[in-house]
Structure 1
Amino acid sequence: MTCPIPTEAAALPHTHGAQAPSAWIARFAHLVRPGGTVLDIACGLGRHMRLFHAQNYVVTGIDKAQDAIEAVADLGQAIQADIENQAWPLAGRSFDGVVVTNYLWRPLWPQILACVRPGGVLLYETFAQGNEAYGKPSRPDFLLAPGELLEVCKGWTVVAYEHGLLQQPERVVQRIAAIKPGEAAAPAKLLS
């Protein structure tokens, strides 16, 4: 059983990255240290890179598709890499914010978490169990189990977490905004 989640502001077209930023990512973007560095994993055509770039963050995007990398090259560092089948190209680098949407490859959890600098923020939103009733993805390999992001971020400060049904289009997602333990460069500004 899933609980309804408020509807996203804009409907999602078929091209990943061409649509408006995720309402979840936009809502919690302020948690990332102002002027800091942001990594967008599986960035697509850069909807979240554009969001952060417009707010004067230093952005890096990584994607397997050449057209995606070409679309974001003018925003910041654009890395073309098959992160599921090749070595992680960002070893030793860390960011004030790491964004992941509509992407799940569990073997990368250690690399994704390691990329978040102490005091940095992980903003993650992807499909979850229950989505199979609404379309693809429907394979369990690509659907988060209930509470999975909470388990992955165990020991972190969870600012917000949801698992439920979104509308337009209907889909089941799980999402989290979590701060990695450690000293932050500056206190995160909370919205009232």
Structure 2
Amino acid sequence: MSPRSYRRRLIGTALAALAAGALTWTAVAGSVSDQGSTSNRTSGAVAAVADEAPGYAVENFDYPQADKILAEKNIVLKRGDGHITLADCVTGTGQLEVMARDQSKICFGVKGTSGWLTLELPSVYLIRGNDYATQADLTVGTEEQTYDITKNTWTPVGESADEQAREWTLLELRTAK
């Protein structure tokens, strides 16, 4: 077979395949249209299947119901990995306990081998640790301080550990077993 006849045969085969594909697409589109609602059948509209599929779930680590907690308890919870969560204070449960001047005691449940939570809690002066190694980041103005929280006892932080008794804001808690 000559190169010229081979090319003609190849082009002819490609055109036949394209034509068959177009016919198949038309048949599929027509059957989707026929299976639609009555309004779709009369208007000839075809619903896109991709529009009906659920979206992708993307974890952004935002704290769930943070707006509700802010409105009810005046606590700004921002982001976390789910291993440190706001909890009702219950004695003897191994919670982290935080004392702030403008709040009653605030408690956090801790689970897993490590965890983190970012928040904004002003006027923090004491944190009671649990069985986890815990660090707390606090700030006042442009100054930041990281405190190692003593396990299972109260640790002075913020204004109670500041010579000037300034009001410090708790920004982050980190725990590890």
Q: TM-score, normalised by structure 2?
A: 0.28
Q: TM-score, normalised by structure 1?
A: 0.27
Higher strand share: 2
Between structure 1 and structure 2, the one with the greater Rg is: 2
Higher RCO, Cα 8 Å, sep 6+:
1
Higher helix share: 2
